[in-house]
Amino acid sequence: MYYSLCGGQSEATLNAKGYSVADERRILDVLGRGLTKEFPNPERIGCPGAGVLKKIASRKMALSEAEKWLDHLGSCSPCYNDFSQFREASQRDRSRTLLAVAASILLVATVAGWALLRNRNDNPPAQTAILDLRNRSIARGTETNPEEPPLELTRTAKNVKILLPLGSSEGPYEVRIVTLSGEELAASSGTAKLNDHISSLEVVLPRDSLRSGKCLLQLRRPLLSWESYSLVVR
């Protein structure tokens, strides 16, 4: 068990070194009586040496071992001055260590945050898009209604929820996205379900194959003809 010469806890508690704040104050009171010039000892008679003083000042000596030097420190100005200098140096070292640890933690947190942000930018999270066809006119084949604005879909949208035209039935559907020339960019399938009089279909699209531009969203019941809707991928 080691002792400290600077307390910060209540009188009733013991610190991690095994002694109370009252013990520390008693030590400081004893040392405080050894004023820097009141007890000269030019021949350094009975002095414990710099090594012992450093251990006491840096809390690296057991209290039971340090007790025998307290009376001497209280009556030897040179030892008291040396002890004060060692104690100040030890406190500066501890402060520098704490600052270095805090700086290291901050650096690690900054690098981790930067790496996470970069990873998110390189791999944007999958988004869920909603394509509302409820008020759209049904167009067979590749023809679409030119008076209706195109649907919009982002390239990062992997999960797509399609609100089917009013009156659409439940059951399996095939879905695909094709270019205006008919090249298939993405395809999927799912089962439409009716909820609150709205038939909706949820599908997962391979977003890596999508590219920006004007396209067609096509869907159909198995073995039936495709229904097309104008779509812009951004």
pLDDT tens by residue, 209-223: 788 899 999 999 999
Domain region containing 99: 21-119
pLDDT tens for residues 15-65? 444 556 566 666 666 555 545 667 888 889 999 999 999 998 888 888 888
- My answer on whether 115 and 146 are in the same domain is no
For the chain, percent of residues with pLDDT exceeding 70 = 79
**Which residues contact residue 45 at a Cβ distance below 8 angstroms, ignoring those fewer than 6 apart?**
none
Three-state SS at 61: coil
pLDDT tens for residues 90-120? 888 888 888 889 888 988 888 888 877 776 6
Does 12 fall in a domain?
A: no
Give residue 119's pLDDT.
64
pLDDT tens for residues 177-193? 999 999 999 999 999 99
Three-state SS at 220: strand
State how many domains the chain has: 2
Extract the tokens encoding 156: 């990062």
- My answer on whether 63 and 136 are in the same domain is no
Give residue 13's pLDDT.
39
Angle among Cα 25, 74, 37 to the nearest 5 degrees reads 120
- My answer on whether 140 and 214 are in the same domain is yes
**CA dihedral in degrees (164, 206, 129, 170; nearest 10)?**
20
Helix (H) or strand (E) holding 227: strand 227-233
Give residue 217's pLDDT.
94
**Which residues contact residue 191 at a Cβ distance below 8 angstroms, ignoring those fewer than 6 apart?**
170, 171, 172, 173, 201
- My answer on whether 214 and 193 are in the same domain is yes
Give residue 219's pLDDT.
94
